[in-house]
Amino acid sequence: MKIIEVESYEDMSRKAADIIKGVVCSKPNAVLGLATGSTPEGVYRCLIEDNKKGLIDFSKVTSFNLDEYEGLDGSNPNSYRYYMDNKLFNHINIHKERTFVPDGMAEDLEKECKAYDEKISLAGGIDLQILGIGSNGHIGFNEPADMLIPSTHVTELTEETIKANSRFFPSLDQVPRRAVTMGMGSILKARRILLLASGKNKADVIDRLLQGDISTSLPASMLHMHRDVTLIVDKEAASKISNDCCA
């Protein structure tokens, strides 16, 4: 795992946007794997800025998002489709029909999951996957567990994640308990992975991750098995990395 330590959230965002720009410039029809949450918001702002300046062209890009809550449709401000439309897609020249987010409203969610992995394969696989990390080590909604499911699947959210994500909802009760997520196997198939972490509340998990052990109790540790992962971490999130870490 390559580690890039930067000063601030803004620097992390700019660095990540520049890497995405590099990928799209060298492959205009690149397939991007995208994440939601607080972490990539700054990256998306930088990409919008660059797109407006003509520095990046999304007209041939395809995107696949990591996850979506069960039971929320795209008009719900808490859905990840709504997030992506409002924080990125509506402001850049991407073709909406080439932006994919799992459908948390699908009548048959199992079928939706299978179809989602097939769509990724048909698109040629993900060239660059952007990831945030949960403070419990989750990636997408692959929560710590005895076993992890490799393909896209429906999952129960942990209490910790429900609590962490309740900051976006009017109340804790309104946070969906289940979600559709790409599995760790689907994520690890990406050719290149960019993991982003910012802020003090990520310092413990980044320290754990960089101890180097691989365990399903820390889903992000599976990333150690991938040959091309870059972690961009700001000063606060890097503040607990022990010197003897073996990343």
**Is residue 32 close enough to count as binding ligand F6R by CB under 6 A?**
no
**Is residue 205 close enough to count as binding ligand F6R by CB under 6 A?**
no
* Nearer CB in complex with ligand F6R: 12/23: 12
- Segment near ligand F6R (CB under 6 A); pick from 43-51, 87-95, 138-146, 225-233: 138-146
206 within 8 A of 238, measured Cβ to Cβ: yes
**Is residue 229 close enough to count as binding ligand F6R by CB under 6 A?**
no
| Interacting residue with ligand F6R among 102, 132, 144, 183 (CB under 6 A) | 132
| Gap between the Cα atoms of 63 and 46, Å rounded | 17
- What's the closest the beta carbon of residue 168 comes to ligand F6R, in angstroms? 8
Q: Under rule CB under 6 A, how many of the chain's residues touch ligand F6R?
A: 13
**Is residue 62 close enough to count as binding ligand F6R by CB under 6 A?**
no
Is residue 146 flagged as an active site residue?
no
* Nearer CB in complex with ligand F6R: 30/35: 35
Is residue 67 flagged as an active site residue?
yes
**Is residue 31 close enough to count as binding ligand F6R by CB under 6 A?**
no
- At residue 154, φ and ψ (nearest 5 deg) are -90, 135
Contacts 24+ apart (CB under 8 A), 37-43: 37/132, 38/132, 39/132, 39/133, 39/196, 39/197, 39/198, 40/13, 40/16, 40/130, 40/132, 40/196, 41/13, 41/87, 42/9, 42/10, 42/12, 42/13, 42/14, 43/13, 43/16, 43/17, 43/130, 43/196
Tell me the helix, strand and coil percentages in the chain, rounded to 5: 40, 20, 45
* Nearer CB in complex with ligand F6R: 139/190: 139
Q: What is the DSSP letter of 152?
A: S
Catalytic one among 143, 153, 165, 236?
143
| Helix H or strand E segment including 63 | strand 62-65
Is residue 97 flagged as an active site residue?
no
- Segment near ligand F6R (CB under 6 A); pick from 30-38, 97-105, 149-157, 207-215: 30-38
173 within 8 A of 109, measured Cβ to Cβ: no
- At residue 16, φ and ψ (nearest 5 deg) are -65, -45
In Å, how far are 17, 136, 180, 202 from 160, measured between CA atoms?
29, 8, 17, 14
- What's the closest the beta carbon of residue 54 comes to ligand F6R, in angstroms? 28
Give the residue nearest to ligand F6R (CB): 132
Is residue 156 flagged as an active site residue?
no
**Contact pattern from residue 158 through residue 187 relative to ligand F6R, giving x for each residue in contact according to CB under 6 A and a dash for the rest:** ------------------------------
Known catalytic residues are 67, 136, 138, 143
Q: Where does this chain bind ligand F6R (CB under 6 A)? A: 35-39, 66-67, 132-134, 138-140
